[in-house]
Structure 1
Amino acid sequence: MEEKRALPWSSLGVLVLGTFMGVLDSSIVNVALPHLMALFSATEDQIQWVMTIYLLVGGMVIPAAGFLGDRFGYKKAYLGSVLAFVLASALCGLSWNTTSIIVARAIQALGGGMVIPLSMAYLFRIWPREKIGVATGLWGMTMTVAPAIGPTLGGYLVDYVSWHWIFYINLPIGIFTVLWGWLVLEETPVQEDLKLDWPGLFLVASSAFALLLALSKGQDWGWTSPSIVFLIVGALFGTLLFILWELSVPNPVLDVRLILNPTFMASLVASNLTSIALFVGIFLVPLFCQNIQGYSAMQTGLILMPAALTTAFFMPIAGKLFDTVGAVFPGLLGMSIVAAVTHALIHLTADMPIHHLQLLLCIRNAGLALAMMPLMTAGINTIPTARTGQATAIASVTRQVAASFGIALVSYVLTNRMAFHAERLAEEVSLTNPLGYHYYTQFKGLVAGMGGGDGLAQTLLAGIAQKQAMVLAMGDAFWVALWLVFLAFPFIPWLTPRRVKEELKRQEERLEREEVLFASRRTSN
């Protein structure tokens, strides 16, 4: 009992609350975009930058999180990022046109982008490694619960309060988080002589910006357009230069040698594929509920709520399993469940009962909850405490890129397969297809009996065909998601407790050798 009391539960609460606020913001703002588009007389392309700029700037600043925590202390860095996010949220709520809200969102991302890596790095510094699973399980609930609550809460605020409150809601939560954190969080050791690797930060930030922009705009601008090709080539070239540079400096902004750690790399790949599975569901299921079954954004949020609560229930269980048996068992079990349910979702139908869909989503989220945090935690458990800030920054950047890649890939599949299925369905109802033409004449007669003419019959039939084409395309998109889930399985067996302990020992020895080497270089100079 005494050992349990010694665990910093209050500190964990501060970290969970701040992270929850940051994750909630993305889904809550997304619901308000149609309202903001009408309010500011903006085009769809212009208003999408409200989301895009947050993604881009957030991806750029994540690599600096480890440096800020090591240099100034993780308490000050985390609370400072939350405070910056809160102040920028006030600016967003005061926006008066499209440009002002895009600028305010960019400022908001400066703080919001660093909340997740800083909170996770701080968690690994204050919590015993042998019990870290329970802590990361509770912390990880924010990743799945917040996106499910966002649409419901955002829809309610826009419809019944004011659009300003989708941003102002961050003020009381954020201020309470800062005050609570100032009282209960303990400061971590500070490296006062640590210098920021400006060239490395520039290279990784610009590469992340280019790649995330290409992934978010590839569908709109065309994947083979000169702009997208230039961005992708520039991102790859910048990443190569970044790696070469980081290998030559004593205090890299991101320790790229961590990617030579096979257990950490296996963890990154498996957990990022799990994140793709999560975000594909977050992307496709609301489209199905709203565009196919006609539910509002707020109703869709309520439909997704049981799945979010299922995640909240199973994540602490997954954490306890991790502390007991490691990551392999919950990882394999969870991803097997995800694969089975994703296969079932391939067979979506336009008239699927909503309770059946909710049951599938609850089972799928149970699998995601079992797998997600154990797979990520196992990798970071191989990293010495002094490098956890950089490890969580790497994990956050790759997770953001993986999520953007997954959504971009599924969007591409959805768009192209929709066109394919629409063309095939149109061929079925034509003068050259006797059976299709027979059903068309019957449908036309039904519409005529209701007082409609040929034009109305063709319009209604086109709408039905378009909806069916979208349902079939979603099935194809879930096929792609299923293959991505299968890709995770070969990496999970690498994450056994024995491998994690052995790799942690090797990394600690490597870090000691490097410190001795750099100390000798400074002495000789």
Structure 2
Amino acid sequence: MNASSTGTKGTAPDLSKIRRGPIVVALIIGAFVAILNETLLGNAFPDLMKAFDVSASTIQWLSTAYMLVVGVLVPVTALLQQWYTTRQMFLGAMILFLIGTIVSATAPEFGVLLTGRVIQALGTGLMLPVMMNTILVIFPPEKRGGAMGLIGLVIMFAPAIGPTVSGLIMDSLSWHWLFYLVIPLAVFSIIFAAVYMKNVSEITKPKVDILSIILSTVGFGGIVYGFSSSGSAGWSDPEVYWTIIVGAIALLLFIWRQLVLKDPVMDLRAFKYPMFALVTILLFVLMMTLFSTMTLLPMFLQGALLMTAFKSGLTMLPGGVVNGIMAPVAGKLFDKFGPRVLVTPGIILVVIAIWMFTGVGASASTGYVVTIHIIMLVGISLVMMPAQTTGLNQLPRRLYPHGTAILNTLQQVSGAIGTALFISIMSNGSKDYLKGSSDPNSPGEKVQALVAGVHNAFWIGLVIGIIALVIGLFIRRTRPPEGEESRAPAGH
């Protein structure tokens, strides 16, 4: 079942004369464009439903399909990065993203728009692991925190301004401009990368195991699809639980196959490094909480506090901006003090914020919600990049593509699971409240039902946050294996 290919040993490129600055700028521009586009679309769903005359469950595919494609593609990127150069991977990803954006912008019907989103997702799925792997290769361990912090700034700042920019566009222009706006940014990213992006990866061209790719696609795809569709279809829908069951079986077979292959598609031997394994578990738990909070909060703001989509976007903007600013600061502090002084206080802040959310009612002031949101995202900024960098720092260089692919894949899976779990808890809590209500059809009772459901979800989030806190207590500074540090570039 292996594709015919020789697993030749490649020669590592000379990194001593690499100019890191332009490469990082190219990566940041690409990441900003891709992530901004993802968050621009959420606020426009009601308008897109009217424009294409489709239901809420249909329009959700614009988000579900995106997450599904990224979740399926990312595991394969570890293999692709050993077949194609950094430059080829990044430019290929951005060109795919540009094509998808143009298709989406000019879509005459929903099917074409969905196709454009899938092509965009192919580009994003290729780019995100390449970005992290490149940072690991071109920076020595003692400087990676600052570099990861810059990437973190973009990863959090783009989603922060996305809903607000989207609200402005939808108030004054058509939905097409959500994509027209991104086209020049994507073109600029491609031109800049074509000039400044250098190859920093080692091409080894390992054997391609087709069965592993099939099992990975069915496994990760089935789990992400099943959990993502549970919100609209319900857990009792056979399509939901059978998809998850088939995905889980395929995933187990994928794991077994990776452990017996000489050249695995995703080398799970990275989990032999204890700090990487611990960080992976921590981020999986934490990302469940983060993704679900980002989904619940707009629903609470619009459904309980009766805000418009634009105002809810503005309410969430300060937290996102503060998080973006904090990311490079946390990176520099990580380089100086290590992860322990950042990760534990960060998770404590997240737990405090979730606990405060369990008491927020329909009479809460906007300022109070903004304050809690800022506390949560400051905590997240102290945990995310420092924890990722700590885990990846322990790996030998040959496992960098696999480590980044593992972390990116599990973030997609944990996002799908967390969102489905918390939305399900919220929905059931709301239904239970209305069953005991004397007037379940009154607008006031529906608001109280939403508040009760959100509170239930945040109580579960608090439990998950405490689990993350216990795991975080064991995080400590790591070093790459003997002999790996000497291969880091001395460039500037």
Tell me whether the two structures share a fold, i.e. TM-score over 0.5. yes
Distance 1:220 1:330, change over 3 A: same
- Residue matched to 1:142: 154
1:416 aligns with 2:428: yes
Query: In 1, distance between residues paired with 2:172 and 2:484?
Result: 55
Match of 1:505 among 475, 481, 490: 481
- Unpaired runs of 5+ residues, structure 2, are 1-16, 486-492
Asked if 1:317 corresponds to 2:293, the answer is no
Paired position in structure 2 for 1:257: 269
Tell me how far apart the structure 1 counterparts of residues 175 and 446 of structure 2 sit (CA, whole Å): 32
TM-score, L = length of structure 2: 0.91
Partner residue, 2:70: 58
* SS of residue paired to 1:335: helix
Q: Does 1:481 align with 2:457?
A: no
Tell whether 2:224 aligns with 1:212.
yes
Q: Is the 8 A contact 2:70 2:412 kept in 1?
A: no
Where does 1:121-200 land on structure 2 (aligned, <5 Å)? 121-191=133-203, 193-200=205-212
Instruction: Specify the alignment match of 1:519 in structure 2.
Output: none
Closer/same/farther in 2, CA of residues 188 and 197 from structure 1, 3 Å limit: farther
Contact kept? 1:89, 1:171, Cα under 8 Å: yes
Shift of 1:11: 1.7
**1:226 alignment counterpart:** 238
Measured against aligned partners, the alpha-carbon deviations of 1:159-194 in whole angstroms (never above 9, x if no partner) come to 212211212222111111111122222212442543
Q: Secondary structure at the match of 2:427?
A: helix
> How far does residue 506 in structure 1 lie from its aligned partner after superposition?
7.6
Equivalent of 1:465, from 439, 445, 448?
445
RMSD: 2.0
Q: Are the structure 2 counterparts of residues 212 and 313 from structure 1 closer, same or farther at C-alpha, using a change threshold of 3 Å?
A: same
The alignment partner of 1:495 has SS state of coil
Alignment correspondent of 2:283 = 271
Secondary structure of the structure 1 residue equivalent to 2:360 = coil
- Residues 508/197 of structure 1: CA separation in 2 closer, same or farther (3 Å cut): farther
Pairwise CA distance, 1:68: 1.9
| Highest RCO, 1 vs 2 (Cα 8 Å, sep ≥ 6) | 2
2:43 aligned counterpart, secondary structure: helix
The CA deviation at 1:507 is 11
Q: Deviations over 1:16-50 (max 9, x none)?
A: 22112222222211212211111111122222212
- Please state how far the C-alpha of 1:6 moved relative to its aligned partner: 8.5
The offset of 1:273, in angstroms, is: 2.1
Instruction: Give the structure 1 partner of residue 14 of structure 2.
Output: none
SS at match of 2:195: helix
Q: SS state of the match for residue 128, structure 2?
A: helix
> How far 1:222 sits from its partner (Å)?
2.4
Secondary structure in 1 matching 2:133: helix
Partner of 2:13: none
Q: Verify the 8 A CA contact 1:68 1:74 in the aligned structure 2.
A: no
One-letter code of the match for 2:366?
I
Distance 2:146 2:247 in 1: 37
Q: Which residue of 2 aligns with 1:375?
A: 387
Question: Structure 1 pair 134/86, CA: closer, same or farther in 2 (3 Å)?
Answer: same
Q: Does 1:354 align with 2:366?
A: yes
The TM-score with structure 1 as length reference comes to: 0.85
Q: Which moved more, 1:276-285 or 1:468-477?
A: 276-285
Decide which of 350, 354, 359 is 1:338's aligned counterpart: 350
Higher helix share: 1
The aligned counterpart of 1:299 is 311
**Residue 423 (structure 1) shift:** 2.5
Q: Which runs of 4+ in 1 moved over 4 A?
A: 506-509
How far, CA to CA, are the matches of 2:319 and 2:60 in structure 1?
Answer: 27
Q: Deviation at 1:65?
A: 1.4
Mean CA deviation greater in 353-362 or 277-286: 277-286
SS at structure 2 position matched to 1:142: helix
Show structure 1 runs of 5+ residues with no match: 430-457, 510-525
